[in-house]
Amino acid sequence: MPQEVTEVAEAPSQPSAHVPVLEVEGVAKAFERPGREPFLAVDDLNLRVDDLHGQGELICIVGPSGCGKSTLLHLVAGFDTHLPPTRGSLRFLGKPIVGPSAERGMLFQHYSCYPHLTVLENIAFGLRLHAGALGITRKEIHEVAMRWLHMVRLQDSDAGKYPHELSGGMRQRVALARCLALKPRCLLMDEPFSALDEPTRLEMQELLVNLWSEIEATVILVSHSISEAVYLGDRVWIMSGAPGTIAHEFTNIPVPDPEVPAMTAQSESRFLEVLRTPRAEILPILADGSGRCTPVKEGA
């Protein structure tokens, strides 16, 4: 079941030029194991994302399997399976993260649509759940949901379909529309496109780039693809494992041009040149998930 059901509706926070959107300080998470020592999944996580209001920032995380990427996203999402952290603190727009919030949307790798609801009902789900807090009428919910149906490039004829009638890419569009309809200040995406075939994945990357001006949010996206991370990200965080921590950050990555198709952009020599340094630095970390890497110099 998608996690929105348990969301706690909060009054939207006011933007502030000084309060960071996300602050993670000294965070560790150990999972209890019956009859065994707790397992330390992530440790010493220190992150800060500034609130670029009206613009947002897209941060991609890459790292070896099991290094704690999902654990980090789930902590930020405020899932009760992960809170509180074993050590450290997490703050969103200056307030401690104590549970899920409509301001922090989450998109999972496996398309989290409600199977018994139509496409339009799925998109409207969060809006209906938070209608009271948002102060919107049924008519407005319908209008917003229809608008997002079109924004994710689905057709009017798709509105009444059920998830089992849709392709994987279409289902992920529905899940994306459901998150974005709530205008979250932060969108957490856990390998959102990795279950899709290559052309559909590129199409979805392109859609995300095109929706960027509408989203105006901080996006933190976990990817297993270095090309995807470098193409989409303003910053790329590289996690190393055992226990997971941020080993390095790449900044100053060129912003993708919404006019250029993702496939074309990612085969241009300019992009391949930008990709060269992160690839050379990240591949050894991905290959060696067990140990911490030595810090690498900034590139790209």
Residues of this chain that bind ligand ATP (CB under 6 A): 31, 39, 41, 63, 65-71, 81
Q: Closer CB to Mg ion, residue 31 or residue 258?
A: 31
39 binds, among Mg ion, ligand ATP, none (CB under 5 to 8 A by kind): ligand ATP
As measured in angstroms, the least distance from the Cβ of 74 to Mg ion is 9
71 binds, among Mg ion, ligand ATP, none (CB under 5 to 8 A by kind): ligand ATP
Determine whether 131 is exposed, middle or buried from the number of CB atoms within 10 Å of its CB (0-12, 13-18, 19+).
middle
Beta strand segments in 136-294, E: 186-190, 218-222, 235-240, 245-250
Determine whether 79 is exposed, middle or buried from the number of CB atoms within 10 Å of its CB (0-12, 13-18, 19+).
middle
Residue at shortest CB range from Mg ion: 70
The residues, any chain, with a CB within 8 Å of residue 24's CB and separated by 6 or more, are: 45, 46, 47, 48, 72, 75, 76, 88, 89, 90
273 binds, among Mg ion, ligand ATP, none (CB under 5 to 8 A by kind): none
As measured in angstroms, the least distance from the Cβ of 102 to ligand ATP is 23
Q: Closer CB to ligand ATP, residue 70 or residue 101?
A: 70
Q: Closer CB to ligand ATP, residue 56 or residue 64?
A: 64
258 binds, among ligand ATP, Mg ion, none (CB under 5 to 8 A by kind): none
As measured in angstroms, the least distance from the Cβ of 168 to Mg ion is 18
As measured in angstroms, the least distance from the Cβ of 44 to ligand ATP is 15
Give the distance, in angstroms, between the CA of residue 51 and the centroid of all CA atoms in the same chain. Answer: 16
Do strands 87-92 and 95-96 pair parallel, antiparallel, or not at all (unpaired)? Answer: antiparallel
Q: Closer CB to ligand ATP, residue 6 or residue 81?
A: 81
Q: Closer CB to Mg ion, residue 261 or residue 289?
A: 289
157 binds, among ligand ATP, Mg ion, none (CB under 5 to 8 A by kind): none
User: In which region does residue 26 sit, left (phi positive, over 0), alpha (psi from -120 to 50) or beta (all else)?
Assistant: left
Sign of torsion over alpha carbons 25, 37, 191, 214: negative
For Cα atoms 225, 227, 231, give the angle at the middle one, nearest 5 degrees.
120
Determine whether 105 is exposed, middle or buried from the number of CB atoms within 10 Å of its CB (0-12, 13-18, 19+).
buried
As measured in angstroms, the least distance from the Cβ of 187 to ligand ATP is 17
Question: 236 and 63 in contact (C-beta within 8 Å)?
Answer: no
As measured in angstroms, the least distance from the Cβ of 80 to ligand ATP is 11
220 binds, among ligand ATP, Mg ion, none (CB under 5 to 8 A by kind): none
Positions that interact with Mg ion (CB under 5 A): 70
